[in-house]
Amino acid sequence: MIFYQYAKIIVRRASGVSDGKEAKAQSYGLIKNKFRELKSGVISWSEITREDKQLVEAEKRCIYCGAEGDLNWEHIVPKSLKIRQDCAGCDTIQGIHNQIWACGQCNSAKARKGLYRFFKDKYPGERKFYDLIPPLLEKKYLKTIYNCHACAGTLDAGDIDGDGELTVLDIDHVIE
């Protein structure tokens, strides 16, 4: 699921389309190909420092709502994550790679939620809420949460949340 979401971002950028829904509608076959290439190791994602650079070069505003005031550093994967005892000192969780700008209101609303759960709650009527996530935010999240799943031993797990479906919310489940 992590690689599938990342494949959509690759195709979205290459196609020059505005969101994941449009990318999927236009290039579903290409998304599947990129997913297979990522999963098999034929291609790999860039180092997370690329997204860190994009964050520095972007306008200083809330990644969730675009507000320009009351900004704080926000941990995309909650820094309180406790997969293992050493999470509190894990550079992947505590470091800059896992941080973005968020306004106080969005930071409070997200709290300890995973990114997909937060966007599902933020857009309750939107069936494909995950396609509304800004690519920079989602790339940083996927690269960080991948490491968390590796530590938890759940990279190849299926329906982690036990709801009978494989969805993006399973990516978040390591947080809950």
| Whole-structure pTM value | 0.85
Quote the Cα angle for 22-2-5, to 5°: 5
Q: What's phi and psi for 131, nearest 5 deg?
A: -80, -5
Residue ranges of the alpha helices (H) in 16-127?
20-40, 49-57, 91-94, 104-110, 115-122
Which of 138, 136, 137, 133 shows the shortest CA–CA distance to 122?
Answer: 133
Counting Cα atoms < 13 Å in the Cβ hemisphere of 73 gives: 11
Structure confidence at residue 176 (pLDDT): 66
Give the orientation angle of helix 135-152 with respect to helix 115-122, to 10 degrees.
130
Q: What's the whole-number mean pLDDT along residues 89-114?
A: 90
Share of the chain above pLDDT 70, in %: 98
**Joined tokens for residue 162:** 């036990």
pLDDT given at position 104: 95
Which residue reads 């809330």 in tokens?
Answer: 62
Rg (CA), the chain: 16
Per domain, the residue ranges of the chain are 48-152
User: In the predicted model, is pLDDT for residue 60 greater than 70?
Assistant: yes
